[in-house]
Amino acid sequence: QANQMWGGRFAEGPDAIMEAINASIGFDQRLARQDIEGSRAHAAMLAAQGIITDKDAEAIREGLLTVLSEIEGGSFQFSTALEDIHMNVEARLKEVIGEPAGRLHTGRSRNDQVATDFRLWVRDQADAAIGGLEALIRALLTQAEEGADWVMPGFTHLQTAQPVTWGHHMMAYVEMFSRDLGRFTDARKRMNESPLGAAALAGTSFPLDRQMTAEALGFDRPCANSLDAVSDRDFALEFLGAASICAMHLSRFAEELVIWSSAQFRFVALSDRFSTGSSIMPQKKNPDAAELIRAKIGRIFGANVALMTVMKGLPLAYSKDMQEDKEQVFDAADNLMLALAAMTGMVSDMKANVPALEAAAGAGFSTATDLADWLVRVLGMPFRDAHHVTGSLVAKAEGQGCDLPDLTLADMQAVEPRITEEVFGVLGVHNSVASRMSYGGTAPERVREQVAAWKARLDD
């Protein structure tokens, strides 16, 4: 039996394999709400333009609401023979309201329909990402405020570099996640144009009011070129691009949490709520949420590459290849939201081990730069010479198996006779961070300013 939607020229129905490869209903049923919203806007516009009667439009409107409640209530029977969500909805509408259902598709194609539905869906996900990022940023700000003066080691090459404050480290992620938030906001702005009314590819001879449907669906304006409207998926790719960068940030932080929660570091205790145990080793408390965030990010990168690859060779306008856009984005969005929520939970719950952070902050000659800076400031040495002298002092301490502040004044003077007792004042980690008062620096005072600035921005 030929297809009831487009089978006019077909004598035979599709092979079972054809049906299987062609059907997208298994996944695009997630677009049901957007599809029905789009159809309602289209029907109302058709009536307003006198293309269909008000009576038919009203029947369509009522019928679509019935179909939506069936789908949301779980009683809707999805059919693979009807390929996708668009035809499933329309076929059911016909069963519910009869003849007027056939008028809904006037001046419309599945090409502009799916482009519209998918934009609406991705737009919602951009909003969800923005909300998720805001929550994460707030959790980071709380940590930063509480620990504005806790000292910890700052690393380069994962080797001790200079002491920093806990608050400063948290605020570094606030900066990163805020840029992610900005990327989703930008992408949302750019994607917010309506493809509806572009029809198959060329526009339509019916006097559609595309402005009206655009407005009804919350778009800023209709897409200006019908070919472009139905054939690009750059809005989804921008979402995936922003998601990939955000995921990369999440993964770096997750990696730090894995390291920090180890018995060797003991920088943080993750909460029981965001950890798991081992079935054999009774002592274990594993940072699984962080590990899963680190791993799930792979899917998001994968989705980005997959959709780029689907799109890259397609001639204008629509090709069926583009049906493969959805699953990737669904999966990436689901996992991004989950990762954001899990990270927010971990960050809110985690307890910094302040004594362990402070002990680690002083290890590894972390104040060597402070010593070199002192030689410059007080003795007027050129920095390169000061660097060299300090290096000799580090070697001396290393030889004696002690830290820099443990050297005696005599040890120091043996290397540079002009060094005085005063130098010990700069070798402490608290002095070190307090002295980093340059704009953007790690000094507690600077960190508190940044926390306050970000809070004000968020509340704006």
> Which spans of this chain sit near ligand ARG (rule: CB under 6 A)?
24, 28, 84, 110-111, 114, 318, 320, 322-323
Judged by CB, which is closer to ligand ARG: 274, or 318? 318
Work out how close the CB of 173 gets to ligand ARG at its nearest, in angstroms, rounded to a whole number: 37
Q: Tell me which amino acid residue 97 is.
A: I
Cα–Cα distance measured from residue 118 to residue 236, given in angstroms and rounded to the nearest whole number: 8
Judged by CB, which is closer to ligand ARG: 24, or 304? 24
Instruction: Count the residues in the chain.
Output: 460
Q: Tell me which amino acid residue 48 is.
A: A
Judged by CB, which is closer to ligand ARG: 125, or 323? 323
* Pair of tokens at residue 85: 């969500």
Work out how close the CB of 237 gets to ligand ARG at its nearest, in angstroms, rounded to a whole number: 16
Judged by CB, which is closer to ligand ARG: 233, or 294? 233
Place of tokens 């002298």: 389
In our burial notation (b when 16+ CB lie closer than 10 A, e otherwise), range 384-416 reads eebbbbbeebbebbeeeeebbbebeeeebeebb
Catalytic annotation present for 435:
no
Work out how close the CB of 81 gets to ligand ARG at its nearest, in angstroms, rounded to a whole number: 13
Place of tokens 């493809």: 195
Which of 79, 262, 278, 392 is catalytic? The answer is 278
Judged by CB, which is closer to ligand ARG: 38, or 167? 38
Work out how close the CB of 118 gets to ligand ARG at its nearest, in angstroms, rounded to a whole number: 8
Work out how close the CB of 315 gets to ligand ARG at its nearest, in angstroms, rounded to a whole number: 14
In our burial notation (b when 16+ CB lie closer than 10 A, e otherwise), range 321-349 reads ebbebbbbbbbbbebbbebbebbbbbbbb
Catalytic annotation present for 42:
no
In our burial notation (b when 16+ CB lie closer than 10 A, e otherwise), range 248-286 reads ebbbebbebbbbbbeeebebbbbeeebbeeeeeeeeebe
Judged by CB, which is closer to ligand ARG: 116, or 323? 323
Work out how close the CB of 327 gets to ligand ARG at its nearest, in angstroms, rounded to a whole number: 10
Work out how close the CB of 249 gets to ligand ARG at its nearest, in angstroms, rounded to a whole number: 31
Which of 157, 205, 279, 438 is catalytic? The answer is 157
Judged by CB, which is closer to ligand ARG: 84, or 256? 84
Catalytic residues: 157, 278
